[in-house]
Amino acid sequence: MLQVRVKPGIEDRIRGFFPWIYRPEIASLSRKPRKGELVVVRDFGGKFLGYGYINPEVSIAIRILSFDKEEPVTPELIRKRILEAYNYRKRLYINSNAFRLVHSEGDLLPGLIVDVYGEYAVVEFTTYGMSLFRDVVLSSLLEILRPRGVYEKTNLTARRVEGIEVEEGVLYGEVPEEVIIWEHDLRYCINIPQGQKTGFFLDQRNARRFVRDLVEPGDRCLDVFCHTGGFALNMKKMGASEVVAVDLSELALAVGRKNEELNRLSGINWVNANAFDFLRDLDRAGERFDVVVIDPPSFAKNRHAVPNALRGYKELCVRGLRLTKPGGYLAIFSCSFHVTEQHLFDVMTQASYDVRRQVRVVARTFQDKDHPWILQMPNTLYLKGIWVEVV
């Protein structure tokens, strides 16, 4: 097996269970590496640190799967980790038949995402090294879940950066274009092949539940970057008299309309528009809402994009504060690790000063518990939301 030594000073972080080793941190290799092959990681003096896989072509060159010298990376280890992840989800008592089964580093399986939608599973390999375990991942899912179908999704980053060349499609059985799932007392239509991520934003389950505590019958609500209407549907379910839901994707809005019909709801105004332009238009028209939720896509794919991202977040906060009635509620989210919770608090503070509105924090929400994050790896905490009352 390929032997890798890291530079002095790196070993403490690895011994603290941080599973990434960046390319410049590698001191030496026992030979020229092959993309995706398994490695033994050692400190500069040769002491064991962990087992992982390597891709010498990317910035995060090594991802560690085992810090135990007696537990090398084998198909049996992958199978064991997937079973442990499944047993953990069973203990969570998630009020839905859709959940994340494997959350990459959060389940000690870096590079692997598995979401379950009722009788179907969706797999996503985000690293080349983990994609080499495709067969054992699939066989494990068939054994544990006994699904009717398994679909593999791919993303542009995995293709471009990691060099994964597999086309997405059905890995096992049959996967219909539309799958109906339930969450609490609502049902959702999921388009697995065409939907964003693996088909639905499962990580916002907790926030969708929390918004119900804020909506009163007769309220006027706004769902910005609504996707397929997760927040909008919950607002309407709680008796909102009017809900405006805006998104740039006509496909997402079409699914949102289906979800409204599926739940026998009415009164949601689905708007196909650029969110920034639409918020400005609402403000100019003097529109005001009791509850405003702003859940944008990731504006910061890396740390270099953070300054521009924060300018976008500040504008959203300014518009959101102006559109929220006194005594109403505003929520804003970041789904990028690089835009932190403190960043959100800072831009909200700056925006409140600009519009001369006092705000009171009423809640903080994070990715739901089937998307676990590792304390020793802050990168695994990616979804943050702050909820404020506009005084």
Cα dihedral: 79, 82, 88, 93 (round 10): -130
Q: What six digits make up the tokens of 350?
A: 């700056």
Q: Is there a catalytic annotation at residue 335?
A: yes
Phi, psi (rounded to 5 degrees) for 284: -60, -35
Element (H, E) at 131: helix 128-131
E strand segments, 7-111? 20-22, 26-29, 38-42, 48-54, 60-66, 98-103
34: left (phi over 0), alpha (psi -120 to 50) or beta: beta
189, 226, 317, 335: the catalytic one is 335
Q: What six digits make up the tokens of 254?
A: 């079409």
Cα–Cα distance list, 95 to 186, 202, 302 (Å)? 11, 12, 34
Give 32's DSSP letter: P
Burial of 123: CB neighbours in 10 Å, binned 0-12, 13-18, 19+ = buried
Burial of 45: CB neighbours in 10 Å, binned 0-12, 13-18, 19+ = exposed
Cα–Cα distance list, 25 to 14, 41, 43, 125, 128 (Å)? 11, 12, 11, 25, 20
Sign of CA dihedral 75, 80, 81, 86: positive
* Residues involved in catalysis: 335
